[in-house]
Every structure is written in C-alpha cells, then in structure tokens.
C-alpha cells in the first residue's frame, strides 16, 4: 500500500521534470492498484484526454469499466485516485480562476526510467 503524501502542484512538476525530463507528455504515474505505468501519451493512444493521467488507471479507458465484460483482461484496471480509497498522493493546487487553493488526488509518480545501458 502506498503511503499518503501531500505536496504542492509546483513540487509535483519539479519532481516529474527531474525524473522524466521537460516534456510533460512523458511524465508517468503508477496505478497503486495494478501497478500499470502510464503517461499522457498512453491516454492519447487510448483515444481519450491526456488530462486523465495520474487521476485514473489507463484501463478505465481501455474497457475495464465495460459492464458487459465479465472479467477484464486488458492493460490496467478500473482504479481511480478519486475513488473510495483516494490518492495516495494529495496535490495542493494553487488558487485559480477565482477558486481557492484546493487538493486533488493523484497516483504516485512512476520511478524514473532506467537509462539505457552504455556499451563499453
């Protein structure tokens, strides 16, 4: 079980950039339920909005919510960071558009990609 962690949106962006580089489309989050690692690019590939990255498992957009399927066997699962078991990361969003500071729930960032082995 992943521990709850509270951080600001700016801290999340800084940490993601350190792990994955400046291209936010490659920032990857790990589903705390099934372990699937997905970036915004994976959500686009699943024909949905990249804005879902870190909020739900990519499986939700690949058929895991299809009630006609008895047992989903595709990639990912139906987990959501905003479900009954939230987070585990709590991201504090700055005030915007007249809205006060508020928290949103997020999957944890995935581990940094392992650099390709340098041949000697």
Task: Give contact residues for Zn ion (rule: CB under 5 A).
Answer: 31, 33-34, 36, 57, 76-77, 79
- Nearest distance, CB of residue 79 and Zn ion, angstroms: 4
Question: Which residue lies nearer to Zn ion by CB, 20 or 79?
Answer: 79
Question: Which residue lies nearer to Zn ion by CB, 79 or 89?
Answer: 79
- Nearest distance, CB of residue 6 and Zn ion, angstroms: 22
- Nearest distance, CB of residue 29 and Zn ion, angstroms: 10
Buried-exposed string 38-62: b where 16+ CB fall within 10 A, e elsewhere: bbbebbeebebeeebbbbbbbbbbb
Angle at 84 between CA 81 and CA 15, to 5 degrees: 25
Question: DSSP secondary structure string, 6-45?
Answer: EEEHHHHHHHHHHHH-S-GGG-EEE-TTT--EEEHHHHHH
- Nearest distance, CB of residue 107 and Zn ion, angstroms: 9
């Amino acid at each position: 079980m992943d521990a709850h962690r509270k951080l600001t949106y700016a801290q999340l962006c800084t940490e993601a950039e350190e792990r994955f580089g400046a291209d936010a489309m490659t920032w990857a989050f790990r589903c705390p339920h099934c372990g699937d690692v997905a970036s915004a690019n994976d959500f686009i590939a699943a024909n949905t909005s990249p804005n879902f990255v870190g909020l739900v498992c990519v499986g939700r957009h690949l058929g895991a919510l299809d009630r006609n399927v008895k047992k989903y066997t595709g990639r990912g699962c139906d987990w959501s960071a905003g479900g009954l078991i939230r987070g585990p990361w709590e991201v504090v969003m700055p005030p915007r558009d007249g809205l006060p500071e508020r928290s949103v729930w997020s999957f944890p960032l995935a581990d940094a990609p392992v650099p390709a082995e340098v041949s000697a």
